[in-house]
Amino acid sequence: MNEQEYAGFWVRVGAALIDSILLLIVIAPLMTAIYGMQYWTSPNYFQGFWDVVVNYLLPAIAIIIFWIYRAATPGKMMLKLTIVDAKTGGQPSKGQYIGRYLAYYVSAIPLFLGLIWVGIDKRKQGWHDMLAGTLVLRNNQAVAVNSTPEDE
C-alpha cells in the first residue's frame, strides 16, 4: 500500500477555483438565455424557479455525479486529487457523497471556518469531510484500512 499524502488547503482551493470557472462557463450563458441581460443587472437576488435550478440544483447534481463516477470533480482531477472513504481508503458510498455535499453548507455558514479547517487539520479534513467520513488525497493513493489520526 502506498503512503498517503493528504491534499492540503491551497491545492483544494485551486481545484475549487477550476470547478467554479467551469461551472460559470456553463451557468452564465444559461442564465442569460433564460432571463436575458437584466439577470446580471437586477437588484433582486432571486430571479425565479430557473435561477434555483441552474445555480443550485444542476451544480449539486453535476458535482455529486462526478464524485460518484470519478471520485473527483474536474478541478480535483486536473490537480490529481481524489476523494476516498476515510476508514477503508476505498470509494465512498453515494450517501457519503450526498452528505459531503450538504455538509459544505455546514462548513461554510460560520465564516467558512469548516473549509478553512482543512489548513489546520492533521489529515487535512474540512468539516464536510469529517461529517461524511471522507479524505482528499493526492495522486489517487490509497489509505490504510481503518486509518485514524492516532495511527499516524
Query: How many angstroms separate the CA atoms of 27 and 122, rounded?
Result: 36
Flag whether the pTM goes above 0.75: yes
Per-residue pLDDT of 42-90, as tens digits, reads: 999 899 999 999 999 999 999 999 999 999 999 999 999 999 999 999 9
Cβ atoms of 27 and 59 within 8 Å: the answer is: yes
